């Protein structure tokens, strides 16, 4: 228990010492990239979500193994997507799917390395999936 608390404080210290200017610069660069080609961003996100689904299916069929954090992340985002009770109801025009997009983005970020490894194991083109 003490070890977990120590790790939590270490993470908090990293967050407090983040390079704010570097963070803002990286965020602006990424926003500009998305703005220049939003279709590519949407397509790679959808492909990554499909790949995550395939990973989960593979895991459930006991055809591959995954770290527990990956299983939990994929299960959670899939559950959130099918759950009719969203934080922001889907029927609201313009923002209805914002919460779904955030949930997907967080989950994909958490499992990015495992997605990459799975894509490699399947012989997929990493750049096509935005995983290069």
- 115 neighbors 128 (Cβ within 8 angstroms): no
User: Where in the sequence is the domain holding 29, given as residue range(s)?
Assistant: 1-36
Closest by Cα among 74, 82, 81, 79 to 110: 74
* Same domain assignment for residues 28 and 48: no
In whole angstroms, give the CA distance from residue 26 to residue 24: 5
* Same domain assignment for residues 69 and 27: no
* Same domain assignment for residues 24 and 43: no
* Same domain assignment for residues 111 and 80: yes
Model confidence pLDDT, tens digit, residues 1-16: 556 555 555 555 555 5
Specify the pLDDT at position 112. 96
- Angle at the Cα of 81 (from 77 to 83), degrees rounded to 5? 110
| pLDDT beyond 70 at 17 | no
* Same domain assignment for residues 43 and 24: no
* Same domain assignment for residues 14 and 61: no
* Same domain assignment for residues 4 and 26: yes
Closest by Cα among 55, 86, 82, 83 to 69: 55
* Same domain assignment for residues 66 and 89: yes
* Same domain assignment for residues 25 and 42: no
pTM to 2 decimal places:
0.72
Number of folded domains that form the chain: 2
* Same domain assignment for residues 27 and 47: no
How many Cβ atoms from other residues are within 10 Å of residue 115's Cβ? Answer: 25
* Same domain assignment for residues 32 and 85: no
Q: What Cα–Cα distance (Å) separates residue 4 from each residue in 9, 17, 18?
A: 9, 20, 21
* Same domain assignment for residues 20 and 61: no
Model confidence pLDDT, tens digit, residues 81-109: 888 777 777 777 778 788 888 889 999 99
- 59 neighbors 71 (Cβ within 8 angstroms): yes
- 106 neighbors 49 (Cβ within 8 angstroms): no
- 114 neighbors 81 (Cβ within 8 angstroms): no
Half-sphere exposure of 5 (CA within 13 A, CB side): 2
């Amino acid at each position: 228990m003490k070890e977990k608390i120590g790790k939590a404080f270490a993470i908090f210290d990293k967050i407090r010492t983040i390079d704010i200017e570097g963070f803002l610069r990286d965020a602006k660069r990424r926003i500009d990239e998305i703005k220049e080609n939003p279709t590519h961003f949407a397509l790679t996100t959808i492909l990554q979500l499909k790949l995550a689904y395939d990973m989960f299916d593979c895991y459930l069929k006991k055809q591959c193994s995954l770290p527990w954090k990956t299983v939990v992340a994929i299960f959670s985002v899939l559950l959130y997507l099918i759950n009719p009770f969203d934080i922001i109801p889907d029927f609201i025009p313009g923002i209805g799917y914002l919460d779904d997009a955030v949930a997907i983005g967080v989950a994909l970020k958490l499992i990015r390395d495992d997605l990459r490894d799975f894509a490699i194991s399947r012989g997929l083109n990493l750049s096509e999936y935005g995983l290069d």
